Amino acid sequence: MDPYTPGRRSKKALTLSAKEYTKINGTIASVRRSRQQQGDIDEESSRARSHEPSFIAETSFVRAPLNSRVGPAPVFPKSKGKGQNLEGIPVDIQEALILEDLLFVLTGIEGNYIAYHPDYSPEDDDPLQGIPFSASSSLDASLRDLVDRILPLGTYYTAVSSFIEHRSHLEYGLVNHALCAAIRDMLKDYQTLLSQLEHAFNTASAFTLQKLWFYVHPTVHTLSLIYHLVLELSTADDPAPSSSADSDEEDEEDEEQRARDEALGLGGASLKAVLSDITKKNGGGGAGGSGIAVKGGEVLAILHERKQHLAGDPTAAALYGVLLRKAGKPYVSMLRVWVGTGRLVDPCEELCVRESKFIDRGMLEMDYTDEYWERRYTLRDGSTLSGPTKRHQAGVPEPRTVGGRLPGGACVPPLLEGWKFKILLAGKYLNVIRECGIEIPSGDVGGEELGMEDEGFYKFIEHAYTHANRTLLQLLLRDQQLIPRLRSLKHYFFLSQSSFLTHLLDLAHGELRKSAKAASLVKLQSLLDLALTSDGCSGGGGSERADDGLFREDVKVGMAGSGLYEWLLKVVSVSGVIGHEEDADADAVDPHKKEKEKEKPMLAIDALALDYTVKFPLSLVISRKTILRYQLLFRFLLHLKNVESSLCTMWIEHKTPTPWRTTLPPGQADLSRWRLRLCVLRARMLAWVQQILAFATFEVLEPNWRALEAKLARVTTVDQLLRDHVDFLDTCLKECMLTSSKLLKAYSKLIVTCSTFAMYTSMFTKAANTGVLGAPETETAMAKRWEVLSKFETNFNHWFKVHLDCVQFYASSENVSLLPLVVRLNSVKTAS
């Protein structure tokens, strides 16, 4: 038999609270007092007490809470040859004696001539490593070889029995319990064999050591496979030793520490019971350094790996196949309930799917990140269909080793690696249906028993996924009228065939000229309802036109907290879409100017935004995340419409005969040129606004909407539907130049210039009237007119050129969809 090398004990991380520290100190003090009181007792009474029976070694008693009150167990010196001497005994008698001992040893009990290995200590060694046995040194050499071959069975049996007892605790989960039950069934066959061997030993005179070896030889290999499995499972959460030198050094330190503890009276089981109790309270029992026990998917992964590595051994393949099937039963059962009904029943956190219980339907009203859909149910390994992100990796535990498998339920069994996303989505879809109050029949959940290696199990997952996906799609598209809902959003937010906006701007003209804080939302909501009612949305114009007015009661008026372009520039700079140094420098200039703009009250027309209310489950598709995108596009179009309306009003003003079309005498040529330049600038501004508006509606929103409708007509999965909807909105934002800081900056300057110019209409008309009526005026007044006009011209010409250059650059490099806008902007003539 090979020399026995004691296994290194796994070290558990302990952190003591003040209460626990006080408890240990109390134990130490009581032990010291008891040792001092016993110092005067004579040697005979001390020796007598040393032979009194103690129950410290009993496992059940060590775990008892009152065990700390019992004195330390007597320590007997270890003697190397504990087995009785066989010298002088005939070989046939030795064989009979050894046979009897072997029947005890095979059940983990010491015999008279076969005892525990001299280096084995029940208190110090890990029971999961098994108990090593050694035969008496005086055993005849002809028998020793066979005995040494049989002795490992005792070690295997004790290790496996300890594993079953240890892993049957509640914290190790259902998979470990099922595995222990399967191994226990196999040990019953082993115990039946021992009973038969004992009967043969007692009744058959021809029963020899050779026959014993013949009968147990196949069992040695089987128990060896189980032993190495439980050894790997019990050490999977222990960090591997860095080097043999470190191991030796730690062993020496352990010996020194043990000697010091014994000198202080701390080497008994009482302190160890306290420390063990603390370890369990801190959650360290069996969880290793990661804090997560080896359970769930990790157990199945280890079983599968061992089966694959020993595929050439028929016995190993069959054994691990049986264990994998039986240990996987609870896992498969939980999976079938999840993908079949949408209910996650995972009390021990063993499944690859995780539920965040703090996220519920109530969050949908304020969920701007789709947290309910993306994070309510997730995979424990952090993987997503779009790839791992920091946000999804946040709750993922560290792997056992660098590049190794994840611990516990975060480890997806290799057989399910390719199916994990379908497993997640099937349950998510059915869970949404259940949240709507629709009862889901159990179906095949409790049907035929299936294992992870059965083809029928994966057919069941595929069928469940297809059924869940089709059911939720029908619920959204048909029962919840998703397409008509999206058409109404297009009507209200993208201003498609919407005369209601013109009516609203006319009705609420006075209210919208107030500051955003002073405007009455109640009054604006009433005016919006009136405008929508008189818009004739519910009549004529085809089916799509009829759909537009179905949900007008869900449209609400709101006020944004900040300006559109300032907010977008802030978002773009934070997200780093462009992030060039020039932009950073420009934003950093003149902080006083920024404070001034902050203090300036925002008009209601600039803060006006529509909102849209939908109920679950439509709120998964039309979520706050998507409504925010609709609001950004609406405010962008609203500003263009408002500026266009103001410039058109100015154009109507300029059509009046007096003072704009009156022929002036030659002496007022300067005023005539001023009027002409003013009209030209107004025409160029109006042309620019109309070209931007036409591009946004006819070249961006309408084509993308048609593409979205085509995708929705052939969509096959709910996740694809969600992605298509968000991609549609993101594409519209990008092609409308709302995601680039340079384009945004130039565009915002231009639109503000045009808006401010339109606000000077009455001032320009007053100045023209003064000149036409021949009222006496100084050269200063005329110079002031030219100065104001020149500022507008210079500002518009500068930012128009910057904007055109930016559009041409992005059209040729990043965003080819801007090419039609380049052609449109070139038609706006520059000042000569």
Query: What pLDDT band is residue 678 in, cutting at 50, 70 and 90?
Result: confident
**Close Cβ partners of 465 (under 8 Å, ≥ 6 residues apart):** 339, 422, 423, 425, 426
Which pLDDT score, from 0 to 100, does residue 363 have? 61
**Tokens describing residue 758:** 């339109």
Question: Given a cut of 70, is residue 829 above it in pLDDT?
Answer: no
Query: What pLDDT band is residue 709 in, cutting at 50, 70 and 90?
Result: very high
Residues in the chain: 832
pLDDT digits (tens, 9 = 90+) for 61-89: 444 444 444 444 444 444 444 556 777 78
pLDDT digits (tens, 9 = 90+) for 88-125: 788 888 888 889 999 999 998 988 888 888 888 877 77
Q: Is 189 helix (H, G, I), strand (E, B) or coil?
A: helix
> Which percentage of the chain shows pLDDT scores above 90?
38
Least confidently predicted of 184-198, 234-248, 511-525, 593-607: 234-248
CA distances, 16 to each of 12, 270, 281, 282, 599 (Å): 13, 17, 10, 9, 55
Query: Which is it for strands 114-116 and 133-135: parallel, antiparallel or unpaired?
Result: antiparallel
Calpha distance 323→302 (Å, rounded):
11
CA distances, 752 to each of 516, 560, 682, 758, 798 (Å): 17, 18, 14, 10, 13
* Residue among 166, 168, 100, 158 nearest 132 (CA): 158
Q: What is the CA radius of gyration of the chain?
A: 42
Calpha distance 60→272 (Å, rounded):
14
pLDDT digits (tens, 9 = 90+) for 433-442: 988 888 887 7
Question: Given a cut of 70, is residue 11 above it in pLDDT?
Answer: no
DSSP state of 558: E
Question: Given a cut of 50, is residue 506 above it in pLDDT?
Answer: yes
**Close Cβ partners of 798 (under 8 Å, ≥ 6 residues apart):** none
Calpha distance 36→791 (Å, rounded):
101
Helix, strand, coil percentages, rounded to 5, for the chain: 65, 5, 30
Which pLDDT score, from 0 to 100, does residue 775 have? 59
Phi, psi (degrees; rounded to nearest 5) at 366: -125, 20
Cα 740 to its chain centre, rounded Å, is 30
Residue type, 699: E
Least confidently predicted of 108-112, 420-424, 638-642, 697-701: 108-112
Query: What pLDDT band is residue 804 in, cutting at 50, 70 and 90?
Result: very high
* Residue among 410, 423, 430, 431 nearest 452 (CA): 423
Q: Is 609 helix (H, G, I), strand (E, B) or coil?
A: strand
The larger pLDDT score, comparing residue 321 to residue 359, is at: 321
Question: Given a cut of 80, is residue 640 above it in pLDDT?
Answer: yes
Region 1-9: what's the mean pLDDT? 48
> Which percentage of the chain shows pLDDT scores above 70?
72
Q: In 10 A of CB 10, how many CB atoms?
A: 16
Which pLDDT score, from 0 to 100, does residue 104 have? 92
Which pLDDT score, from 0 to 100, does residue 22 have? 62
Q: What's the mean pLDDT when you consider all of the chain?
A: 79
Query: In the chain, what are the domains?
Result: 91-237 (no CATH), 296-387+405-479 (no CATH), 483-534+550-573+602-830 (1.20.120.1900)
